[in-house]
Chains A and B, each alone.
Chain A
Amino acid sequence: MNDTYDVMIIGAGAAGLTAGIYSSRAKLTTLILNEGAVGGQMVLTEEIANYPGVPATKGYMLANTMKQQAKSFGCKIKSNIKIARYDLEGDIKKVELEDGRSFKARSVILTPGGRPRSLNIPGEDKFKGTGISYCATCDGDFFTGKEVVVVGGGNSALEEAVALTQFATKVTIVHQFDHFQAFKHAVEEAQKNPKINFIMESELRSFYGNGKLESVDIEHLPTGKMSSLKTDGTFIFVGYQPNTETLNGLVKLNERNEIVVDTDMKTNIDGVFAAGDSIVKKYRQVTTAVADGTIAALSAARYLSEKHVKAGELLEQEA
């Protein structure tokens, strides 16, 4: 059996699964390698209400449907693996896993997605699950009758802060700037909520507690003045970062470590395409990831087709 796939997709979020559906349905042998859980950021979304043609649904359910759809067309999925090394140059691309296995393909679609950005300050890992959370929907009810801090100034931070007021007696939003990046309606909703107060132009510096989170240190950025705030919990919503660390130096990235692609989702390497939250783009939605994944799969199919024609011509010439 030929152990070289036509298409190897790195990542199984909306973009990767869509690329898998398209390429496997086009009868291209397709393998998805996924370092995390299948579904990517979709499974971190409680409800998806704006995916056209699908009534409001849970993120994990949409992800599961996409996964089953890809598998039904013959797409192979290996998740929870760890990639050790890429060799993306040349006609045959190779990916080696940390457990020693390796996989080859004629084309690669990179869809590594992104992950919630952490603060990377002392105590953050220690209190994860005992006071620090990245999901208000999941853990909000543990903070019933308690006081919490929300870090961030985007839509997620303000919307989740409002949601947390169903449980917490007091929600303090800490934001690094003097204004919010969130949409006006989200800001107004938070500002009119009597349980929410704001600490602007400030950043968290460390977490403290004995067995569970008890307080945070906050620095007021214009003055450098430090203060301590007692809190039972901290919810962190400071955006997402692309999972492209292992691709640095292999494909062209921009200053934010996002993969640079053209309108056909081609990277700077022949036969290597990219799609989804990890590429340079303005709007990161399930729908845009699905669109990117579609384009990347069709571009990969065209690339393989052209390669095949050229290879055939060469064989004919040699004969």
Chain B
Amino acid sequence: MKMLQTNLHEIETATELEKMIQENENVMVCCGRMGPMCMPVYDVMEELEDERDDVKFAVMAFDNPEAAIIRNAPETNGFMGLPFTMYYKNGKVAHATSSIQNMQQVASILDEQFAEKV
């Protein structure tokens, strides 16, 4: 059941997340609630979705039991601020952030983590 009111694709199961990160080279998933720290990140992702064809954008509800795959990931250990945002490259976690991020911060992470390594 979908729990987030955004225009982004909502992942509902851990299996779906696994499939997405295996089938797409670059994936950004924001795991949060409909709260004041999460909404601005969803907004940034909606803007970027139109511009970044190289990245698959999605959200996952923090309170969805299936989101344990993100809540309990080693990369989010110690996180104490929503949302938990995961960046996956070639099926693996490339980066993770906790709490609100602005457009500049997200764009910078995408450029840094998803750039072609020569």
Binding site for B on A (CB under 8 A): 36-39, 43-46, 58-60, 64, 79-80, 82, 128-135, 137-139, 142-143, 211-212, 233
B98 contacts which of A39, A130, A135, A233 (Cβ < 8 Å)? Answer: A130
Whether a CB of chain A sits under 8 angstroms from the CB of B86 is no
From 17 to 54 in chain B, residues with beta carbon under 8 angstroms from any chain A beta carbon are: 33-40, 43-44, 47
Give min CB distance, B100 to chain A, whole Å: 8
User: Is B82 in contact with A138, judged by CB distance below 8 angstroms?
Assistant: yes
Contacts of B104 in A (CB 8 A): 82
User: Is B80 in contact with A135, judged by CB distance below 8 angstroms?
Assistant: no
Tell me the complex Cα distance, A80–B99, Å: 17
Tell me the complex Cα distance, A59–B35, Å: 9
Contacts of A138 in B (CB 8 A): 33, 35-38, 81-82
Chain B binding site: helix, strand, loop or mixed by DSSP? loop
What is the 8 Å Cβ interface bit string for chain B, positions 40-82, against chain A (1 contact, 0 not)? 1001100100000000000000000000000000000011111
Tell me the complex Cα distance, A142–B39, Å: 19
Contacts of B98 in A (CB 8 A): 128-130
Give min CB distance, A141 to chain B, whole Å: 9
User: Is A128 in contact with B103, judged by CB distance below 8 angstroms?
Assistant: no
User: Is A142 in contact with B43, judged by CB distance below 8 angstroms?
Assistant: no
* A-B interface pairs (CB < 8 A), number: 76
Give min CB distance, A82 to chain B, whole Å: 7
A37 contacts which of B5, B43, B80 (Cβ < 8 Å)? Answer: B43
User: Is A46 in contact with B36, judged by CB distance below 8 angstroms?
Assistant: yes
The 8 tightest CB contacts between A and B, nearest first, are A129-B98, A129-B99, A37-B40, A129-B81, A142-B80, A37-B43, A44-B36, A80-B103
Given contacts A59-B36, A130-B98, A137-B36, contact A37 B44 (CB under 8 A): yes
Nearest A residue to B84 via CB reads A129
